[in-house]
Amino acid sequence: MSIRSFQILLGLSGVAEDERPRARRWGDWFEWPMILLAVWILVEWYVEAKGLYPKKYAVISDWVILTFFIAETFTLTLLVRDKWRYLRTNWLNLFIIITGLPVLWGAETYSAILRSLRLLLILPLLTKFSDVARRVLAHNQLGTTLLVTFVFTVMAGLLIAGIDPSIHSVWDGIWWAWVTVATVGYGDIVPHSPAGKIFGAILILFGVGFFSLLTANFSAYFVARGEKQIHEEEAEEIRRLALLEVRLKAMEETLEKIAKRLEADEEKEEDASAGEPQDRS
C-alpha cells in the first residue's frame, strides 16, 4: 500500500495533486499553522497532565484548535473542484469537528472524551508535519532538515513524557527521543509502560528514516559545495570562451573589411590600367 493510499484510508489525504492550483496553495498554507498547533497540543497536554495548566485555559485552547480545523475544512472544501472527493478522503477532519463541538460544549461532563480527542487531533497534525518533512528532506536543504529533525525530536519527547510515568520531565523525554531517533539507545532512560514501549518502537522506525535522510543531506551538502566550485569554474571558462568568440568575430569582421578594401583597390587599379591605352590613342 502506498503512502497516499494509507492517508486516504485514514482520512488524511489533503488536497489532491490534480486539484486547482489555488486550492493546493491554500492547502500548503494551512500546513504550517497546523504543525505549530501540533506542537502546542503536545505542550498543553503535558503541562495539563502534570497539573500545571488551568482547565479554563485548556478549553479556550481547544476551541481555538477546533476553529482552525473548521476554517481549514470549510476553506479547502470551498476551493477544490471535486468537493465530495475532498470530504470523502479527509473524513477524519469531519469526524473531529462533529465530535469535538458537542464535547467542547460539555467540557466538564466529557472531560475524559476531551482528552482522547486531543490525542486524536495529533494524528492529522503529525501527518501534515510528516508531509512537509518529506518534501523538505527530498530537496537536500540541510538547515531546514536540521530544524525538522529538532522539532520532531521535541514533539516526540513531549509525547513520551506525557505517556510514560517513568519519564519524569520533558528534558528526559527529549533526551530519550534524541538517542532513540539516533538509534543509539544509551539505556539510561527507558519507557516502562506498554504505550511507551509501542511509541518507542514506532519512533525507532522513524529514526532510522530520519537519520538516513539526514546523512544523505549532509553528503548532498558537501557534494553541492564541490559542485558549486566546479560550476563556478565552468562558468568562468564559458565566460572566457564567450569573450574569445567575441574577439574572433571582431577579427573576422576586420579581416572581411580589409579584404573588401583590397578587392576595391584591385578593381580600381584594373580600371586604371584598362583606361590608359585609350587615352594614348
230: domain CATH number is 1.10.287.70
What pLDDT shows up at residue 120?
Answer: 60
Angstrom CA distances, 247 to 236, 240, 254, stand at 16, 10, 10
Instruction: Name the residue with higher pLDDT: 118 or 44.
Output: 44
User: CA nearest 42: which of 140, 166, 177?
Assistant: 177
Q: How far apart are CA 93 and CA 66, in angstroms?
A: 10
Q: Is the pLDDT of residue 55 over 90?
A: no
Q: Are residues 111 and 170 in the same domain?
A: no
Kindly indicate the confidence band of residue 92, based on its pLDDT and cuts at 50, 70 and 90.
confident
Angstrom CA distances, 41 to 38, 57, 158, 276, stand at 5, 12, 10, 108
User: CA nearest 149: which of 133, 162, 160, 135?
Assistant: 133
How many Cα atoms within 13 Å fall on the side-chain side of residue 108? Answer: 1
* Domain around 158: 139-273
Count of positions (residues) in the chain: 281
- Residue 180 in contact with residue 200, Cβ under 8 Å? yes
Q: Are residues 5 and 43 in the same domain?
A: yes
Q: Is the pLDDT of residue 125 over 80?
A: no
Longest dimension (CA), the chain: 134
Q: Is residue 178 part of a domain?
A: yes
Q: Is residue 261 part of a domain?
A: yes
Q: Is residue 280 part of a domain?
A: no
Instruction: Name the residue with higher pLDDT: 71 or 150.
Output: 71
Looking at the structure of the chain, the number of domains it has is 2
- Provide mean pLDDT across the span 1-26: 75
What pLDDT shows up at residue 74?
Answer: 92
Q: Are residues 158 and 268 in the same domain?
A: yes
Q: Are residues 265 and 189 in the same domain?
A: yes
Q: Are residues 183 and 124 in the same domain?
A: no
- Provide mean pLDDT across the span 100-107: 64
Q: Are residues 246 and 192 in the same domain?
A: yes
Q: Is residue 278 part of a domain?
A: no
Q: Is residue 45 part of a domain?
A: yes
How confident is the prediction for the chain on average, in pLDDT? Answer: 76
Q: Are residues 22 and 53 in the same domain?
A: yes
Kindly indicate the confidence band of residue 237, based on its pLDDT and cuts at 50, 70 and 90.
confident
In terms of C-beta density within 10 A (0-12 exposed, 13-18 middle, 19 or more buried), how is residue 82 classed? middle
User: CA nearest 90: which of 123, 66, 62?
Assistant: 123
Q: Is the pLDDT of residue 114 over 80?
A: no
- Provide mean pLDDT across the span 262-277: 73
- Out of 102, 128, 154, a domain closes at 128
Kindly indicate the confidence band of residue 3, based on its pLDDT and cuts at 50, 70 and 90.
low
Q: Which of 103-112, 168-177, 231-240, 248-257 has the lowest mean pLDDT?
A: 103-112
Q: Is residue 151 part of a domain?
A: yes
Q: Is residue 134 part of a domain?
A: no
What pLDDT shows up at residue 104?
Answer: 65
Kindly indicate the confidence band of residue 20, based on its pLDDT and cuts at 50, 70 and 90.
confident
Q: Are residues 70 and 189 in the same domain?
A: no
- Out of 128, 149, 174, a domain closes at 128
Which cell goes with 215? 546523512
Q: Are residues 145 and 269 in the same domain?
A: yes
Q: Are residues 112 and 231 in the same domain?
A: no
Q: Is the pLDDT of residue 140 over 60?
A: no
- Out of 101, 128, 155, a domain closes at 128
Kindly indicate the confidence band of residue 77, based on its pLDDT and cuts at 50, 70 and 90.
very high
Q: Is residue 133 part of a domain?
A: no
Q: Are residues 123 and 145 in the same domain?
A: no
Q: Are residues 268 and 199 in the same domain?
A: yes
Tens digits of per-residue pLDDT, 21-53? 898 888 888 877 877 777 777 777 777 766 777
